[in-house]
Structure 1
Amino acid sequence: MSYHFIDKVELDGVRFYNAVIDEFLKQGIRPILNLHHFDLPVELYEKYGGWESKHVVDLFTIFAKRCFELFGDRVKDWVTFNEPMVVVEGEYLYEFHYPKLVDGKKACQVLYNLNLASAKAIEVFHASDCAKLGGRIGIVLNLTPAYPRSDAPEDVAAAKFAEDYKNNSFLDPAVHGTFTENLVKVLAEDGVLWESTPEELEIIKNHTVDFLGINYYQPFRAKARETPFDASCGWLPEKHFESYEMPGRRMNPYRGWEIYPKAIYDIAINVRDHLGNIPWYISENGMGVEGEEKYRNADGFIEDDYRIDFIKEHLEWLHKGIAEGSNCFGYHLWTPIDCWSWLNAYKNRYGFIALDLKTQEKTIKKSGYWIRDVIANHGF
């Protein structure tokens, strides 16, 4: 579908998604349909400034309504956005997604507008036939739990702001309908707080999610700033913290990400204790590895024991969180089949199933057989 023309539905797109949904249902798979994953039409950036514009928020609401009407008879689980913080960071802070700007004030406005767009889509959904038939809607957030370097008050304060900006800026509006008080205070003092209206804030307050999807890959370790903040590029959240490389940390060298499975337990307990124990699931977790062909054995499948170990450790910590009362209903690996990335195409492979780009042949990795047995045995 294409939602830059509100009076037109792209029929080829509708046919494609109908076929995918119908095949899922035929195979006994319950789809969770996501409305936005870094794919706003370029025309909306060029014409209106993309997510800087509240007109685009309104267009997204119309798009969402059309999707509910077209697919809501079969799709019961929906999410408004996948990883909206990546839109904020990639497009307006760190230059890794189009339009590649460095503008902290615009970043904060986009953060607000994405929260508003999500709430307005939820408002439309809850009035739809799909909701009346038991459908539900949530949001998928990429969380990087922030840990302080030490118990020193300045390190704790640095990690607190990092947590508020990176995680709570979407978690709190989605679940509680309000923005984190400390975040609003700091952004206002820094002169970068978003523009809002009482009517918009009321929409955010009254239209919260039914469930959460949480993507977890790595933690964020913060310390108090030890060097003066360089304000030559304007405001950045790093004004209030610096990243900290913990000695002895485990790393995935292919992604440059720390491996810290316990954070998935910390997320589970945070949902239980601070987010009303809302239903949630791990919507992404996984290990990307470059050059996996070197691990292919004589029988023709990739022996990815490193992926099995990664998943096992995360599932053990997730199970502990569930055993202690966290309301988690699922775990999705990123990804079942090696997939394309926005930034590096097929460089890093994540799947249970390997994909040969030349022949399109798919072969199950050792981890694929392992997860099959885990599912069959309800554990390991």
Structure 2
Amino acid sequence: MTSRLPDDFFFGAALSGPQTEGCWKKTGKLESVWDHWSQQDIDAFYNKVGSYVGNDMGNQYRGDYKIFHDLGLTSARTSMQWTRLIDQTGALNREGADFYHEMLAAAKEEGVDLFMNLYHFDMPYYMLERGGWEKRETVEAFAGYARTAFREFGQEVRCWFTFNEPIVEPENSYTEGNWIPFVHDFKRAVTVQYHIALAHALAVREFRLAQKEGLVRSDAKIGLINCFAPPYTKEDPSAADLEAVRMTDGLHNRWWLDLAADGTLPQDVIDTLAARDAAVPARPGDDELLSFGKVDWLGFNYYQPVRVQAPEADADEWGNPVFARPYIWPERRMNESRGWEIYPQGIYDFGMKIKREHPDLEFFISENGMGVEGEDAFRDESGVIQDDYRIDFVRDHLAWVAKAIEDGAKCVGYHYWAVIDNWSWNNAFKNRYGFVGVDLMHGYQRYYKKSAEWLRRVATTRVVE
């Protein structure tokens, strides 16, 4: 089946500073939580590949932007690293600023509009030692970092974002305890989630102030990026199953969607949290601060749906409240490498949810991709990785994006994660996502996979077949 996307629909690359830049001890960069963890316990990372090098984009960005241009990509979203731009006193680090000025200039030379996100799970370690997102001090420090970034790069960056996937840290670091600081405490996770929401709102306020003062481009806009996952349950759900859907959707999706669209948090979720001894640490005046969180557009990361049903117990082994448990859909299709369900229709379903609940909110698919382990097994005799599975994955998702646009969703573009293979947290390079591969044994050299030529055709014609 052939689909056609609008002529003004843009294609680009999704990436992040901590996963690509490397150069971890250059330009006066401070230690992030990932740098610290890599030094303390390198065995926690796949094949002992820590945070230090990323995919070496900090040294290879000129060539990488040429690759984006060659593939017909007109934009790329990355992130500045707080640890590189700001010193420990909260002042601008000139070496780090110059690093980003040079990257932005190189992207512009290749016709790539570099979208800039401010935070991608890369807390400065010294801030974590002070309490991290559990402390209001960090919220204020982030606002100061955002203020500096807007003023330093206001005439170079058109599209800004405050956070990427702000739901991930509360879950991975404070509920599931998988990431530093390895906590299993839902009440603390709620505090972290609430403070990130405040930090987002204060950063947007700083952007509006810079906008009013003429310190950012006249066409500049700001957004929020989250990994939204449409929730599903059984075909004949009980009231308890539907309650599981409500809270899962509320904490993971509506929390960030309502904040971005209206500058509010869902009151029903706030009330339920209070009733379960996990109240948000609100202070007088916070509602006014949160009201600044309304954005110009939204980044919608989509990888998989979430399927839930009523929990079997009210609390887990650490005493944390449980609102849902997984529901295994009998017809599900899996990416076995990641353990994620492949469900392209979810990108349509959530796009239509945005249309219904926030009809004026423009969005783009800010991440979507397929990570596969052991891709060398798919090399042909000429050495090219025959990743037809990746072509099928993206084709199927883009077909549903095209349908969502036909049905009135304001989806304006698509960024693939990650066009070039990159480092991915504990998994390092275990799962490869790129249309372009990275040879770790030969200086992080880049090479095209079969899917790269397919991407070029789609990006330059807007025809998906």
Q: CA deviation at 1:248?
A: 2.6
Q: Which residue of the partner structure matches residue 26 of structure 1?
A: 109
1:37 is the counterpart of 2:120:
yes
Q: CA deviation at 1:12?
A: 2.1
Superposed, 1:39-188 pairs within 5 Å as 39-47=122-130, 49-128=131-210, 129-131=214-216, 133-152=218-237, 153-188=239-274
Q: Which has the higher contact order (CA 8 A, sep 6+)?
A: 2
Superposed, 1:1-12 pairs within 5 Å as 1-3=84-86, 5-12=88-95
> Which structure 2 segments of 5+ residues have no match?
1-83
Q: Which residue of the partner structure matches residue 308 of structure 1?
A: 391
Percent of pairs with identical residues: 37
Deviations, residues 144-195 of structure 1 (Å, cap 9, x unaligned)? 2110123322212211111111111221112111111220121011121111
Write the letter of the residue equivalent to 1:347: K
Q: Among residues 320, 326, 333, which one is paired with 1:250 in the alignment? A: 333
Contact 1:336 1:352 in 2 (8 A): yes
Q: CA deviation at 1:276?
A: 3.0
For residues 357 and 435 of structure 2, the distance between their equivalents in structure 1, rounded to whole angstroms, comes to 34
Report the number of matched residues: 376
SS of match in other structure, 1:280 = strand
SS of match in other structure, 1:362 = strand
Write the letter of the residue equivalent to 1:277: D
For residues 43 and 143 of structure 1, the distance between their equivalents in structure 2, rounded to whole angstroms, comes to 30
SS of match in other structure, 1:139 = strand
More off after superposition, 251-260 vs 7-16: 7-16
Q: CA RMSD in A?
A: 1.4
1:276 is the counterpart of 2:359:
yes
For residues 129 and 85 of structure 2, the distance between their equivalents in structure 1, rounded to whole angstroms, comes to 15
Contact 2:259 2:294 in 1 (8 A): yes
Contact 2:155 2:217 in 1 (8 A): no
Q: Among residues 17, 30, 43, which one is paired with 2:100 in the alignment? A: 17
Change (3 A) 1:106 1:76: same
Change (3 A) 1:86 1:7: closer
> Which structure 1 segments of 5+ residues have no match?
none
SS of match in other structure, 1:326 = coil
Write the letter of the residue equivalent to 1:201: D
TM-score, normalising length from structure 2? 0.79
Change (3 A) 1:123 1:6: farther
For residues 332 and 84 of structure 1, the distance between their equivalents in structure 2, rounded to whole angstroms, comes to 18
Q: Among residues 189, 206, 219, which one is paired with 2:275 in the alignment? A: 189
Write the letter of the residue equivalent to 2:421: D
Q: Which residue of the partner structure matches residue 229 of structure 1?
A: 314
SS of match in other structure, 1:80 = strand
Contact 1:126 1:132 in 2 (8 A): no
Q: Which residue of the partner structure matches residue 298 of structure 2?
A: 212
For residues 197 and 28 of structure 1, the distance between their equivalents in structure 2, rounded to whole angstroms, comes to 46
Q: CA deviation at 1:6?
A: 3.9
Write the letter of the residue equivalent to 1:41: P
Write the letter of the residue equivalent to 2:252: K
For residues 315 and 394 of structure 2, the distance between their equivalents in structure 1, rounded to whole angstroms, comes to 39
Write the letter of the residue equivalent to 2:356: D
For residues 242 and 235 of structure 2, the distance between their equivalents in structure 1, rounded to whole angstroms, comes to 7
For residues 319 and 151 of structure 2, the distance between their equivalents in structure 1, rounded to whole angstroms, comes to 43
Contact 2:153 2:216 in 1 (8 A): no
Deviations, residues 103-137 of structure 1 (Å, cap 9, x unaligned)? 11111111110010000000010111345612110
Change (3 A) 1:341 1:231: closer
Write the letter of the residue equivalent to 1:34: N
SS of match in other structure, 2:463 = coil
Contact 1:115 1:174 in 2 (8 A): no
Q: Which runs of 4+ in 1 moved over 6 A?
A: none
Contact 1:4 1:44 in 2 (8 A): no
Contact 2:155 2:216 in 1 (8 A): no
Change (3 A) 1:25 1:154: same
For residues 354 and 19 of structure 1, the distance between their equivalents in structure 2, rounded to whole angstroms, comes to 24
1:377 is the counterpart of 2:423:
no
For residues 277 and 244 of structure 1, the distance between their equivalents in structure 2, rounded to whole angstroms, comes to 33
Q: Among residues 381, 395, 404, which one is paired with 1:321 in the alignment? A: 404
For residues 85 and 447 of structure 2, the distance between their equivalents in structure 1, rounded to whole angstroms, comes to 34
